[in-house]
Amino acid sequence: MTLFETVFSGNDAVYGLTEGAINAAIEQHGADKAISFPNTAYSLPCYYAVTGVKVGTLGELKEALGVVKTLMTREMRTHDIFMSGVATALCAEFIEVLKYIDGATPYEEPCYGHLADAVIRELGVPLVTGDIPGVAVILGKAPTTEDAVALVKSYQAQGILVTLVGDVIDQLAEAGMKTGANVRVIPLGKDVTSVIHVVSVALRAALIFGNITPGDAGNLMKYTMERVPAFVNAFAPLNDVIVACGAGAIALGFPVITNQEGVSEVPKSLIVQTDVSKFNATSLEARDIKIKITNIDIPVAFASAFEGEIIRRGDMQVEFDGSRVDCAELVQTVDASEIEDHKITVVGPEADEMELGSKNSIAYVVKVAGKNMQPDFEPVIERKFHNYINCIEGVYHTGQRDMQRIRISKDAFNAGFRIKHIGEVLYASVKNEFDAVVDKCEVVIYTDPAECTRIRHEVAIPTFDKRDDRLKSLTDESVDVYYSCILCQAFSPSHVCVVTPERLGLCGAVSWLDAKATNELDPNGPCQVITKERPIDERIGEYEDVNEAVQKFSQGALQDVSLYSIMEKPMTSCGCFECICGIEPFSNGVVITNREYAGMTPLGMTFPELASMTGGGVQTPGFMGHGKHFIGSKKFMKAEGGIERIVWMPKELKETVAERVNATAKELYGIDNFTDMIGDETIATDPETLVAFLTEKNHPALSMEPMM
């Protein structure tokens, strides 16, 4: 059979199955039966992205199938292959959505099925920083279980996000390999149609970050081709349906690598690699993915894929716990003459001398020296420790400063991992990432309890106190410059964040100090200095210099932006914001919700629905994406009256930000315990109940001027 015949026959087969399934569902439930995927504002995501039409009922699904049929042209041109591939993918989406009828949960451990919008937003930052350099879609059954494990591990070690479809899932389970989003290996499902759940992620990324108009299929495919670094590994034997799905992947710009002999190859798109051990290299080359290599001399793996790994009590060799005993982690700037580069010292017992399962003290001091080093960069470097130590396979880290907690697993210990290796990791990572400011670096790790107490109380805490005073004195007024951040332009081509001391980047990961350090490390990089010498309107925080900067960095897409208003010229969003804030008209206030909260808000919208109101670098008055830390800022919506406008937040978020919010409310308005006046999901998820609660609490927003 020619490639044409194979794709057409696969497409026809899937179309037939889909038609049958939809008809059967209509017969059973009626045409008005509602259908959707959970936790997305774009249902059905793929069909909506391609056609611009939302499908909400079985009847509409049947109509949509008619539209899909029109894509299935048979004129024997390359275009027909691609369109039949897309049609096959859409059919797969239809088959999959039928599984979710009546709120069913068709996928069970370890499979995920449909992935929520929140997952895609979370992927934003790691994808743009190259922390996740690519997305692999592995389909079918590897020649052997060992081949399957080796391939997945090779991607994992590179930080590549792996999604799995079909028998390979059982192969990994059989080998006892841990899977899950936290280790970047996501089994989608056993049926080939479940591959649509990763396609759905790519297409929603275009809508969320790329400001692609749903229905603009040309730009949609251009976006996935240029900006989503995905590729497919399809194991032999291939059947017509898999080939037809593969044609859909190729249409989106994702190359397909297979070990099926005799397939007619298409350069850079359909590649035969009979040696499965070379799938990794062939795929990276085909998709032009470059891997940053950090060589660290430790006996276990070091990769960002292990960042989310959790070590249970029963699996741990030893533990260090700053909440129980004296611990600390600290970066200290010293004179170059005082240290020896790459010297690592352990003062106190090594892991061998600690009892199995015991809780111990640890304090590590990373001494750095360099001509361009500034004390302001110390906390920036220090905050990365969490991420560095977590990337060690079999080691887990939470917390910071003197409240960190570390676990070393039995597996890592048995592989030879010792405390001194934490020093190796810190040394190599700091030298690697901060080479522009750190010329020399030495690490001292204390495990002797008396020394830990001394370091914590006499060295670390005084340093932290000094830094906190410095942070408090950092206000938008007290500094001479702000910074731009355009890191997210990889996905959101016209988005610019303006980062100020009192307004961090909306992803929550870039503070003014971070931006300053980034600028110092890479003067031509994503963070540039913005002067603030020519104010236009102090009330909304508008400056001529800031406007000129956003015009330049957005390539003219954005003309003017305010720092302190949600209504007038608000800052744009890319899509990876931690929180979204939107106007609540009945109370004159605003509702904030965060990515982790899956429930309903009084606006009648969930996080993904609210989040879909803004993004792609476009200004949307009334909606604002922002970082969690911004909520307690005196500059939060200052133009509209500030945090006094906040009427509702999910309970957990409210608890996280309560201390700062209450302090700010006390200082600005003289209100005590302001968060007690703010509603949450245990109080109200509809406007009537919320307003009744706010009235009872005499919430200040009720008597403020209308926002619209």
The rounded distance, in Å, linking the Cα atoms of 130 and 117 is: 20
CA distances from 508 to 139, 327, 624 (A): 35, 26, 14
Are 628 and 656 spatial neighbours (Cβ–Cβ below 8 Å)?
A: yes
Q: Which stretch binds ligand SF4 (CB under 6 A): 166-174, 190-198, 473-481, 501-509?
A: 501-509
The rounded distance, in Å, linking the Cα atoms of 60 and 197 is: 21
Among 12, 80, 321, 326, binds Ni ion (CB under 5 A): 326
CA distances from 78 to 7, 85, 229, 247 (A): 11, 11, 23, 10
Among 263, 365, 571, 576, binds Ni ion (CB under 5 A): 576
Determine if 521 is a binding residue for ligand SF4 (CB under 6 A). Answer: no
> What would the two tokens of residue 122 be?
């979370």
Determine if 322 is a binding residue for Ni ion (CB under 5 A). Answer: no
Determine if 574 is a binding residue for Ni ion (CB under 5 A). Answer: yes
Q: Which stretch binds Ni ion (CB under 5 A): 244-252, 340-348, 481-489, 655-663?
A: 481-489
Are 134 and 161 spatial neighbours (Cβ–Cβ below 8 Å)?
A: yes
SS3 string of 55-97? Answer: CCEHHHHHHHHHHHHHHCCCCCCHHHHHHHHHHHHHHHHHHHH
Are 40 and 598 spatial neighbours (Cβ–Cβ below 8 Å)?
A: no
Q: Which stretch binds ligand SF4 (CB under 6 A): 41-49, 287-295, 505-513, 580-588?
A: 505-513
Among 189, 253, 255, 505, binds ligand SF4 (CB under 6 A): 505
State the DSSP code for 271: E
Among 305, 510, 649, 677, binds ligand SF4 (CB under 6 A): 510
**What does 505 bind: ligand SF4, Ni ion, none (CB cut-off 5 to 8 Å by kind)?**
ligand SF4
Determine if 55 is a binding residue for ligand SF4 (CB under 6 A). Answer: no
Are 110 and 179 spatial neighbours (Cβ–Cβ below 8 Å)?
A: yes
Phi, psi (rounded to 5 degrees) for 677: -90, -10
Are 356 and 439 spatial neighbours (Cβ–Cβ below 8 Å)?
A: no
Among 488, 566, 603, 653, binds ligand SF4 (CB under 6 A): 488
Determine if 583 is a binding residue for ligand SF4 (CB under 6 A). Answer: no
CB atoms near residue 249 (< 10 Å): 27
Query: What is residue 333's three-state secondary structure?
Result: strand
Least distance CB 347 / Ni ion (angstroms): 17
Q: Which residues contact residue 190 at a Cβ distance below 8 angstroms, ignoring those fewer than 6 apart?
A: 111, 165, 166, 167, 169, 170
The rounded distance, in Å, linking the Cα atoms of 332 and 458 is: 14
> What would the two tokens of residue 582 be?
């939107």
Determine if 423 is a binding residue for Ni ion (CB under 5 A). Answer: no
Q: Which residue shows structure tokens 């204390």?
A: 446
- Of 325 and 509, nearer to ligand SF4 (C-beta) is 509
Least distance CB 482 / ligand SF4 (angstroms): 12
Least distance CB 515 / ligand SF4 (angstroms): 7
**What does 326 bind: ligand SF4, Ni ion, none (CB cut-off 5 to 8 Å by kind)?**
Ni ion
List the interface residues with ligand SF4, window 222-281 (CB under 6 A).
Answer: none
Least distance CB 499 / ligand SF4 (angstroms): 6
Among 81, 311, 485, 624, binds ligand SF4 (CB under 6 A): 485
Q: Which stretch binds ligand SF4 (CB under 6 A): 153-161, 336-344, 407-415, 502-510?
A: 502-510
Query: What is residue 13's three-state secondary structure?
Result: helix
CA distances from 646 to 105, 582, 642, 701 (A): 35, 10, 8, 8
Among 124, 166, 379, 608, binds Ni ion (CB under 5 A): 124
Among 509, 529, 683, 704, binds ligand SF4 (CB under 6 A): 509
Mark 110-149 with x for binding to ligand SF4 (rule: CB under 6 A) and - for no binding.
Answer: ---------------x------------------------
Least distance CB 81 / Ni ion (angstroms): 34
Determine if 506 is a binding residue for ligand SF4 (CB under 6 A). Answer: yes
Determine if 488 is a binding residue for Ni ion (CB under 5 A). Answer: yes
Number of amino acids touching Ni ion (CB under 5 A): 5
Q: Which residue is nearest to ligand SF4 (CB)?
A: 505
Kindly list the residues in this chain that would bind ligand SF4 in the complex (CB under 6 A): 125, 485-488, 497, 499, 505-507, 509-510, 574, 576
Kindly list the residues in this chain that would bind Ni ion in the complex (CB under 5 A): 124, 326, 488, 574, 576
